[in-house]
Each structure stands twice: as structure tokens, then as C-alpha cells.
Copies of this chain bind each other. A is one copy, B any other.
């Protein structure tokens, strides 16, 4: 029988358009042309100008022959050209590839070749390593130098030489501000490319589509509580999951971007006090920077600032310190493959009445899915059946929905593995609580198996963080003849704090089952990625070598 609701009711231009975040900026520029879109040093860019400059960039790219499926690579700090690239590049149906600015030349060269980069925009801060990378790479892109007029006078790093054939401002100036930009042909078209850091083997290129980014913008606005006058400070690198999609998100409400080249306490506090910052994001390390800032670097501010942090659950002491300093912390979780955060620790007001330990336990959970993520669960990856929602049975955290990547570029095998059984396999181990909140227990490779018992390195690290002298720590396995593996702890102490190995071990004994207590404590600087993640594989290497 014919279903009348499917007769003569087809998609057509009047009622169906591809979802894309580009239209959000178009709308903001029309609605709030004079509103402040971008603050960078002495620069003030309005929404009208942001839109015009993005179109100019698009026009200049089109003039250079860039179009659908071409890769434009950006190795930029959190500066205006990076924001412009988030709109100008997709306006010609090209794909924005952002390079982690801490990478070495060999990895960058791999990415340029794998992505088949046609145009490269590089900040002079990074021209040294990029020159090396270009020498190694087969790709021969048009190289555009960005020479930041607001490069801070007190820069910890000097600007490098120009290595390009054209200056960014000259390139943009050659474009038409009224350029007839293009909607994507399909919302499934690629929008951006982000390589995972990949501790072993070659990095994988995670491809985002317009649909996912458009939905993430709605979700970020709602879950982060971004109202009509939000001001966003760029502590999170935009090369990391496209800044969790916030370059696109802010256009929805016409919020203000405050650029930031380096995460240093004084410029952050200055931005909060001087520009009325309402929101910022970052790894837990950024919270440490804020809390442990010198008194003369801190500033008073009246507003409550929302700090979105991802990855490891923030230790209780850090949360308390942040609250005292005027920040409300929201705990998120996600991966490059999920456009950044896709899980949020949605706080139930009723939990405020719980005692301190119960509250801490609730805060340590990663939480529930973002609205545009249709599925989040914990499964046995062998059988693809859900683990019991008992808060104890370990399984692999799995995602499904519209904010999961399109796949890995030119890597069908990895894509198929990641999506086996109709779910994205995160590689993270966790549990499902009876109320449907998930909690990470460990990266599978970070589980320490000692005497047949699983030890979560997170649990041991949590105990270490409760010691007043501990600034940063990482717990990894060391091979052991008797137990198979034993946990050892690498610890960085706070400035001017002191503690002995014995003291730290005694502290852990008071908090942990005996088999979980580190067998050794090594005081050392902890190796971290550019985004503040502790590099466990390096610690593991050290632990095995020691």
C-alpha cells in the first residue's frame, strides 16, 4: 500500500539544504555586523569584517585553483587567520587540515604528503620546522607566511624567517570580499582533517563533515551554556579537533573570540579581566596554570567563567581551587574522532546535597552523551554486547551518531576496524553506572595487571594528587618477575614543595589497596603532549629502562 506521506513530498531546494556551519557566520555577519568578533592583541575585527575577510580568503584560494576535495593546511597559533580559515577554506569546498604546532618535521612532512596539501599557511613562529618538513615532503604546496603584527613583545619564542612565496595579508587582499561562496554539495562532504597524535605508527587522518560540525555548534552552545554575549578565550589550541568546533560554534550567538598565542597565566587573567571572558576550554594542565599563577599575574574579575575541561576527570583539589578562583568547571570527554567532546558530566542539582566523597565520585564520571550523539555505551568488543550497568564491569566505550567522524583518510582498514559492528570503538576502557553515566577506567594499554589483578593507573594517580606537594603525576607498569607488572609513579612536585619517596608511598598506602600502591616513586619532569596530555608511552619506556 502506498504511504501518502512519501508521495510528492520530496526534498527540494526550498525545504532541504546541506547543514554547514558556514551559514552561521553569514547569519551573524548580517545580524551583528558591528559586533566584536575577534580580539587579537591590538586588533579588533567585527563580524562584518570577519565575514568579508573569510570570503576574501576563499576568493584568493579559488583564484589559485583550490576547489572541492583539495587540502589547505594551516600551521597556525590561535590567531585571526586560523579563524578565517575555518570558514574561508570550506567556502570553496576545500578541506582544512590543521597541524599540531608542536610536531617535528618528519611527522609534518608525512601529513603534508598524506593530505596532498595544495596550499599551506604557516605562522612565522613555526617557519623553522616547516622549512625542514617541506624539504622532506614530496608535496609542493603554495606556501603563505603569516607575519603576526601582534606578535607579543615578550615572546618566549622568536619569529622565524619567511619561507613562503606570499604574505597572508597580501594573499587575502587579492581576494574579492563579495566572492560568491559555495554551499557544500552535500552535508556529508569533508570539512576538515585532523591527524591523531598516534603514539606508534603513522598518524591517522580523521575527516570531519559539514553535518557533524553544524550539529556540534548547536550542542556546544547548549551544553556549555553560551548565551548572547559570550566571550570565548582561546586557551585550547584550534589545531586540536578544530578547537572542539568552537570556531564554528561562536558564530551561532555572535560571541567574541579572544585570541591567545601561548597559555601563560598573565595574558589569560588579563583577557578575563579586560575582555569579560565568559568561557574557555582546555586540558587539566591549563587549570593548574591558572591556580598556580603568581599573585602578581592574577587579576580580579566579576563574572563567573565557565571552564570546560576534557580527558582526565579533574581532581577534587583542583576543582576546589578553580571554584575559589571564580571558575565553574564542566567535565567533558571525547576523542578526535568525535569532533572533540561528545560526552558531558551533566550535573544533577540533587547531587549537591551528597557528602563530599559521593560528590567526588559523581564528578569523576565522564557522563552522558551530547544531544547530537545518538548512542554511547560500554561493550565487550569481542561479542559486541553491552556490559552490565553495574559501575564495575570493564568494557570498551563505544560511540554512535552524527558527531562521529566520516572515517580515516585513505585508510580503509583503520576505518573498518574503528566502526566494526556499527559502533565507533574508542579504545578507552570504562564502566557503565546503573544510572547510565559512563566512567573511564583507563586506556586499555594503561591498565596495569599485577598478580592477576587489574590496577587502574587513574585510580593511583587520583590518590597521588591528594598529596599536597604533588603537581603532576603519571603511573605506569614496570615488569616484575614475581607479579608480572607493578605500578610505578612519576611525580612532579609543586614549586617550593618537598616530599620524599617514602612519604608519598605512605600517603598512597592510606588510600589504596596494598597491591595498587606504587612500588617506586620517581621525581622527574613529566613528558606531556602539546595539549597537556601526559605521555604515558614515554613514562612506560622510562619505567622499563629503569
Q: Which chain B residue shows the least CB distance to A20?
A: B374
Shortest C-beta distance, A373 to chain B (Å), equals 9
Instruction: Check if B412 sits within 8 Å of A19, measured CB to CB.
Output: no
Alpha-carbon distance between A415 and B19 when the two chains are bound, in angstroms: 23
* A window 342-394: CB within 8 A of B: 346, 348-350, 368-369, 371, 374-375
A222 at interface by CB-CB < 8 Å: yes
Alpha-carbon distance between A207 and B5 when the two chains are bound, in angstroms: 8
Instruction: Check if A8 sits within 8 Å of B415, measured CB to CB.
Output: yes
A402 at interface by CB-CB < 8 Å: yes
A435 at interface by CB-CB < 8 Å: yes
A482 at interface by CB-CB < 8 Å: no
Shortest C-beta distance, A24 to chain B (Å), equals 6
Q: Which chain B residue shows the least CB distance to A15?
A: B404
Interface range for A: 35 or more
Instruction: Check if A24 sits within 8 Å of B252, measured CB to CB.
Output: no
Alpha-carbon distance between A87 and B8 when the two chains are bound, in angstroms: 25
Q: Which chain B residue shows the least CB distance to A2?
A: B69
Residues of B within 8 A of A374 (CB): 17, 23, 183
Contacting chain B: which of A30-38, A470-478, A521-529? A30-38
Residues of B within 8 A of A346 (CB): 31-32
Q: Kindly supply a per-residue 1/0 record for chain A positions 1-45, scoring 1 wherever the CB is within 8 Å of any chain B CB and 0 otherwise.
A: 001111111111111110100011001001111110000000000
Residues of B within 8 A of A188 (CB): 11, 16
Residues of B within 8 A of A68 (CB): 3
Shortest C-beta distance, A348 to chain B (Å), equals 6
Q: Which chain B residue shows the least CB distance to A95?
A: B5
Alpha-carbon distance between A158 and B348 when the two chains are bound, in angstroms: 41
* A window 429-455: CB within 8 A of B: 435-436
Instruction: Check if A15 sits within 8 Å of B419, measured CB to CB.
Output: yes
Residues of B within 8 A of A27 (CB): 368-369, 371
Instruction: Check if B13 sits within 8 Å of A402, measured CB to CB.
Output: no
Alpha-carbon distance between A4 and B115 when the two chains are bound, in angstroms: 9
**A: which residues have CB within 8 A of B?**
3-17, 19, 23-24, 27, 30-35, 68-69, 95, 116, 183, 188-190, 207, 212, 218-219, 221-222, 225, 227-229, 252-253, 346, 348-350, 368-369, 371, 374-375, 399-402, 404-407, 409-410, 412, 415, 418-419, 422-424, 435-436
Q: A5-B406, A23-B371, A24-B371 are in contact. List 5 more A-B contacts (CB 8 A).
A: A5-B190, A9-B407, A12-B422, A13-B422, A15-B402
